Amino acid sequence: MRVHVRLKGSIMEQVSVNLSHGGTQSVFTHQSEATGTPMTFSAFVPAHERGARLPVIWYLSGLTCSHANVTEKGEFRRLCAQLGLIFIAPDTSPRGDGVADDDAYDFGKGAGFYVDATQEPWRRHYQMRRYIENELPDLVAGHLPVDMDRQGITGHSMGGHGALTIALRNPGRFRSVSAFSPIVSPIHCPWGEKALGGYLGADRDAWRTYDACALIEDGARLPDLLVDQGEADNFLESQLKTHLLTELCEKVGQPANIRMQPGYDHSYYFISTFVDDHLRWHAERLGKSAR
């Protein structure tokens, strides 16, 4: 069943809804002002008393992914239902026939890198920073029973990069921040150099606002941080470079629990293994314990 909700001048369409662990798992689409395209996100809302406002976890996905990857593979709903956490998973880029794309998997559609592009032909639609930081939270706050004073953010790989940089750029917004195998310094890896150079141009100083390590070097801080990284991840040495974040946090005194997990790779088998740890960690900081 499709449900249309008019909200702040736009229409948000609920394209699917399923009962799960007593709550509802929905998928919504809406026309985005930021990207100029339809955008899709999923939302799990646990059972709750009428009028209650619940803490929310924003989950940002990685390269080639959409909202569907974590929604179908993340295994988060059982504990979110117990902890009373809303779980929101947006797409990773604008999509559609008129949206610029690239043949490679690590640039263009599915690879928005959570930046606001300034270069042609990308800047017309690739405004993912503005979408994630401003438009989507306003939309969700106007429709779902979220407590915007209790927000946490997490993500995987490119989405881990997005979660870290968004939290670092918005001090005080998120009570809790975590990441699974994040790209910790896009300035220093091939994925990041390609994406930031393509979307933002050649001025590397303009890249620093999209690099977690650079933001910390420039003085940004988080109240705390949890990171899990698989030691068998084939992207660890060339792209993710977790040691850069570990060394920097130790150097500047940024509180962080960065855990290297032997034998685990980059897949959702890894994420689903440790997602309960992350959800409990977020819930503690958001002021909600298991029922």
Query: Per residue in 42-54, pLDDT tens?
Result: 999 999 999 999 9
- Give residue for tokens 């100083």: 205
- Give the Cα separation of 16 and 175 in Å (integer): 30
**pLDDT higher than threshold 70 for residue 187:** yes
Inform me whether the pLDDT recorded for 3 exceeds 80. no
Q: What is the reported pLDDT for 6?
A: 46
User: What domains does the chain contain, in order, with CATH numbers?
Assistant: 18-285 (3.40.50.1820)
Edge-to-edge order in the sheet of strand 226-230: 3-7, 10-20, 23-31, 38-45, 86-90, 54-60, 146-155, 176-180, 226-230, 257-261
Cis-peptide into 121, omega within 30 deg:
yes
Q: pTM of the entire structure?
A: 0.95
Q: What is the dihedral of CA 267, 270, 273, 279, to 10 degrees?
A: -80
Element (H, E) at 272: helix 268-286
| Whether the predicted pLDDT of 4 surpasses 50 | no
Catalogue the active-site residues: 157, 233, 266
For 253-267, write each residue's pLDDT tens digit: 999 999 999 999 999
pLDDT in tens, 192-232: 999 999 999 999 999 999 999 999 999 999 999 999 999 99
